[in-house]
Every structure is written in C-alpha cells, then in structure tokens.
Amino acid sequence: MAEEVSLESLLDAEFLESVSRLRLVARQVPRGGRFADQRSRDLGAGLEFRDHRPYSPGDDLRSMDWNLYRRLGKVFLRLFEELEDLPVYLCPDVSASAFLEEPPRALAGLRSSLALASIALGQHDSVGLFPFAEDLHIAVRPMSGTGRLMTFARALADVRAGGSTDFRTMVRKLGALRLRSGLVVIVSDFFDPTGLAAVTSALKKLRHRLLCVQLVRKTDRDPKVEGDLRLVDCETGGSEDVSVTTGILERYRAAYDEWNEGLAAFAQSRRAGLVRIDVDEDVVPQLASLFAGGRYEA
C-alpha cells in the first residue's frame, strides 16, 4: 500500500494554469477579517455604496450625506461595502483506505485540495490545511498570500496515511480550534465505519459553510468481484467471508445508490456544495463543474 504522494505528482505548470481561471466567491464573509476580494457583512469605509442609516451621536461626520440633508432636512450616513477575506479550511481525508488502490484515491484528493488552495490564495483569502483520518491534524495554520502555494504543496506531499476515518472526531477537533467562520472543504469518499447517519450528524454540527468534494471510483458501485471471497478491511483488519452472486451484487448496488442519494440529500438540506470527483480522471475539469461562469458561490 502506498503511504505518500510526491510533490511532482501534485504540482505542475499546466495544473496551476488551469486553476488560475477559477474563483471562490462568498455570498457574504464573516466580520473580523482583513481587506481582500470578498463582500463582508460589515458596512463601513469601502468603495461601493450600499445603504444609508440615520445619524447617531458619535458617528463620523465625514460619512454624512449632505445632498440627502439638503433634500430632506435629516442627517443620514452613507454606508459602503467592505471587502474582506473568506477563510477556507481544507480537510482532506487521509485514512488508510485512501492510499490503497493504484493510483491512490488520496492523490486526487490532495490535488483537489491544492487546486482549491491555489484559487483561494490567488484571491487573497486565508487558507488552512487540516488533514484527518482517526484524528485531525494542523498541517498549515490559516495564512494568505499568493506566494504561499508551495507551503501547501509541500505540506500535502508530506501527508502520510492515517488509520480509520472518524468524522465525529474530525468535526469535534475542528470546532475546538475556534476558527473564524468560513468555508470548510471536506475532500473524502465519505465512507465511515459508523455509517452515513453518523457522518451527516457530525457535519450538521459544523458552524461553517460546507463544500463536500466526494472522491469516487466506478468500482465503488460496480466492484469487479465474484465467487467465494474473504474481504479484509484495510483499516481495521477485520474480515468477512462472502459468496458474491448476482443477487448479492444487485443488493449491494441498491445499498450504494441509497447511500449516495442520502449524502446528496444532506448536502442539499445543509445548502452545502457537493461535487463528485472520479479519481481516475483529471481533477481540475471536474472541479470546474462547481464554477459556473468561472466562479463558485459559497
């Protein structure tokens, strides 16, 4: 089982050029950030006029709208839209199963994470990297700047396979960091030993907006297996003897479809983004499906 990916497999000029045309756009970003490209909930001394409000003692007189005062005889302030950064928190799943196949599912996941980091850094947003498996780790604390991409590339190349996937622990540990409200991007196959209900229950507790990047393979739904087999869980070591028949495969596909539909229904109910990435195909053209007109609104 491969337990790492190389820096060269993550980063190349064609890859960077292809993601440079895409943008993450927030409907509104939370207060407390620094000046960047996103619309803030704050109204203050920006450049784009948004609204008026009545004058209150102590307000800055330089913001008074004298034209409105001359017309109405009342004092109002002009409010302008502030532009701030959108915090983006990348959480790639690095459980043992992600490194099992060839090419490993983890490679597509880490390239997806790097692509999104490149997009966010390129528009002056802050980005943090938090790989997870049975635990959550701080690989890169939130930072900004177009020159920081190699920091993320090296951190992603340094990622090693973990144990079993545990979404409840991941969400709890991420919440304990008390990060500024932003966009959490989970890059995973979303398979968890405790089942989909446990995954969605954990994700409901996130106080951030959510984007799910689901890593899939055609064999997830249509495994190429038959006959009497002993199936071994690569993460827990547990095994199960199975006689694979046509009927068993049909029941498996029905269960897989139900699981997939459940994940999509959760994303819709949470108003979260969901994009499925075939790990055997190029990542960027598939991520581009998120970006209608070159942009994704979080």
pLDDT in tens, 159-172: 998 989 999 999 99
Which of 42-46, 72-76, 284-288 has the lowest average pLDDT? 42-46
- 176 or 23: which leads in pLDDT: 176
Q: Does the predicted TM-score (pTM) go above 0.85?
A: no
pLDDT in tens, 202-211: 999 999 999 9
pLDDT of the residue at 122: 84
- 131 preceded by cis ω (within 30°)? no
Can you name the CATH fold of 7-27+86-297? Rossmann fold (3.40.50)
Instruction: Specify the 3-state DSSP secondary structure of 290.
Output: helix
pLDDT of the residue at 281: 93
- Asked if the model's pLDDT at residue 242 lies above 60, the reply is yes
- Asked if the model's pLDDT at residue 51 lies above 70, the reply is no
CA-CA distance, 212 to 189, in Å (whole number)? 10
CA-CA distance, 143 to 127, in Å (whole number)? 5
- Which residues, other chains included, contact 241 with Cβ-Cβ below 8 Å and sequence gap of 6+? 228, 229, 230, 231
Answer yes or no: are the C-beta atoms of 131 and 157 closer than 8 Å. Answer: no
Mean pLDDT, residues 279-289 taken together: 86
pLDDT of the residue at 220: 93
Q: Where are the domains of the chain?
A: 7-27+86-297, 35-84
pLDDT in tens, 245-283: 999 999 999 999 999 999 999 999 998 989 999 999 988
pLDDT of the residue at 86: 80
Strand partners, 24: 296
Distance of CA 221 to the CA centre of its chain: 24
Query: Taking the chain, what is the end-to-end CA distance rounded to the nearest angstrom?
Result: 36
- Asked if the model's pLDDT at residue 285 lies above 80, the reply is yes
